[in-house]
Structure 1
Amino acid sequence: MRSYQLPKHPPQPPALPSALNSHVRRGARRLRGTAPWRKLSAMWRLVRAGAARLAAAGAPAAPLGGHGGWYEWCSQSPPVHWAEGCLTAVQASAGLPWWAAIACGAALLRTAVTLPLAAHQCRLLAQLENLQPEIKNLAERLRYEVSVRGKQLGWSEKVARFHYKKSLRRIITELYIRDNCHPFKATLLVWVQVPMWICVSLALRNCSVGATGSEVQEQFSAGGALWFTDLTAPDSTWILPVSLGLVNLLIVEISAAQKMKVSRFQKIITNFFRVVSVVMIPVAATVPSSMALYWLCSSFVGLSHNLLLRSPAFRRLCWIPRTKSETDTPYRDILSTLATRYSFKK
């Protein structure tokens, strides 16, 4: 067997600061005679402790993500720079003012990226809804079989409940695999929409504060319209922030209006998004108008997509199966539900 030969001149690790180096040396003398793997873990703890001592003593250290921490790191990340390039390319090729380029970019992203994912989500949710009667029938049969089996084997109520839940989970998983409609797939829209929204928002922030160059910032300062002529400054009239809050609240209420039976968890989620919609109003009033405009346009397009996906004709066009909760007059039903919920009767 050929033995492994160590290199004659192994590469040397980078030098540590003097204070940290002396701290590590003192700890290394105490570690002589211990096992190698214990030495590695202990030396790592020594390095961390020495770095903490240097930080406490005021020694300079490179912050994570640059001078501004994680926010600056996100602002200078490759996806954000890619979004900046796309925004400037769209504006330059179309020759539109920046306010129109931001609005068209938001509509294009929501239509080309999130609308197909939203249709896919509706398709999965419709399949899950149509699967519930079969799950209910199988659960009743399983409960009877477990009850009979439990009496034969002398199971206690706790043991019978355990076998029932275990078998029911297995049956439901098999049905999800059979129909290819696992509920986790319905969250794909969130995993795509939220990072995209963050990247575009940070790209607009960089353009507004001059992180991409003074020329783009000058264009933003004169690229607004109506009351928000300066896209680098917050909207002092609060028209954009309040409009954003109202549109987001309308989206939440329309989504809540279509649910017939609402669980406690769904009520908590609905109230959470109501609070987020209200909190976004003061947040949008403190950021540059370019970001508030993008948020408003994105939410407005999302609202239109939400209403479009209620149309029976469009649902059939997207191969969304018909469900028991679907109606032929969805818009009239939404108005009726909202009017009933928020009517003030004496």
Structure 2
Amino acid sequence: MLVPLAQMPLFISFFMGLRQMANVPVDSLREGGMLWFTDLTLPDQYYGLPLITSFTLWVTIEVGTDAGKLSSQNLQTMKYILRAVPVLILPFTVNFPAAILCYWASSNFISLIQVGILRIPTIRDYFKIEPLVNHKPENLPIKSKGFVGGIKDTWTNLNILKCTFKHRATHTA
């Protein structure tokens, strides 16, 4: 979880730099595109790049986080949130200059290749990467209650906390 956070300053720097270059505009960005997005300073009028970026981000999240193996309640909730991110950012990315989306999509493709390579057993052995331990859900100390059960428990805990604060406020004053 820390690796994506460590990459965030670099991504934000590239994002802001490419946005400023598109706003200037840099001449090579006006003619440096390919296929249907020849002008990298403008948003993609066919929405191809935003869709490709969102799709590759979704695949990167699915493959990179082993989302199917998350079992505890908190991790299940995180899985749903992470899966929603590509869908939620799509409306915002349609207005980004093509240069940003070109960078973002290519970065996602490189991440997918990296994850694929690091899953090869020979590569894992060479770099001494330990195999992921799969714990059976029935052996875990906390049993999964499902999404709705987790929400109900959270609501109950909030009500208990509220009553505790009220009790303290009336008995300490």
Residue 221 of structure 1 contacts residue 229 of structure 1 at CA under 8 Å; is this kept in 2? Answer: yes
Residue 204 of structure 1 contacts residue 291 of structure 1 at CA under 8 Å; is this kept in 2? Answer: yes
**Superimposed CA distance per residue, residues 125-167 of structure 1 (whole angstroms, 9 cap, x where no aligned partner):** xxxxxxxxxxxxxxxxxxxxxxxxxxxxxxxxxxxxxxxxxxx
Letter in 2 for 1:190: P
1:196 corresponds to 2:10? yes
**Superimposed CA distance per residue, residues 39-94 of structure 1 (whole angstroms, 9 cap, x where no aligned partner):** xxxxxxxxxxxxxxxxxxxxxxxxxxxxxxxxxxxxxxxxxxxxxxxxxxxxxxxx
The match for 1:47 is none
SS in 2 for 1:281: helix
- The alpha carbon displacement at 1:190 in A equals 2.6
Name the structure, 1 or 2, with higher relative contact order (CA <8 Å, separation 6+).
2
The match for 2:43 is 234
Unmatched 5+ stretches in structure 2: 135-173
Cα distance in 2 for partners of 1:265, 1:323 equals 19
- How much is the aligned-residue C-alpha RMSD, in angstroms? 1.6
Letter in 2 for 1:256: A
Picking from 11, 22, 30, the partner of 1:208 is 22
Cα distance in 2 for partners of 1:202, 1:265 equals 33
The match for 2:116 is 307
Aligned-residue identity in percent: 28
Please list every run of at least 4 consecutive aligned residues from structure 1 whose deviation after the TM superposition is greater than 3 angstroms: 322-325
SS in 1 for 2:44: coil
Letter in 2 for 1:318: F
- The alpha carbon displacement at 1:256 in A equals 1.0
Unmatched 5+ stretches in structure 1: 1-185, 326-346
Residue 252 of structure 1 contacts residue 270 of structure 1 at CA under 8 Å; is this kept in 2? Answer: no
The match for 2:84 is 275
Cα distance in 2 for partners of 1:221, 1:271 equals 38
**What TM-score does the superposition give when structure 1 sets the normalisation length?**
0.36
- The alpha carbon displacement at 1:324 in A equals 4.4
**What TM-score does the superposition give when structure 2 sets the normalisation length?**
0.70
- The alpha carbon displacement at 1:191 in A equals 3.4
1:159-198 equivalent positions in 2, closer than 5 A: 187=2, 189-198=3-12
1:43-122 equivalent positions in 2, closer than 5 A: none
Larger radius of gyration: 1
Letter in 1 for 2:37: F
SS in 2 for 1:244: helix
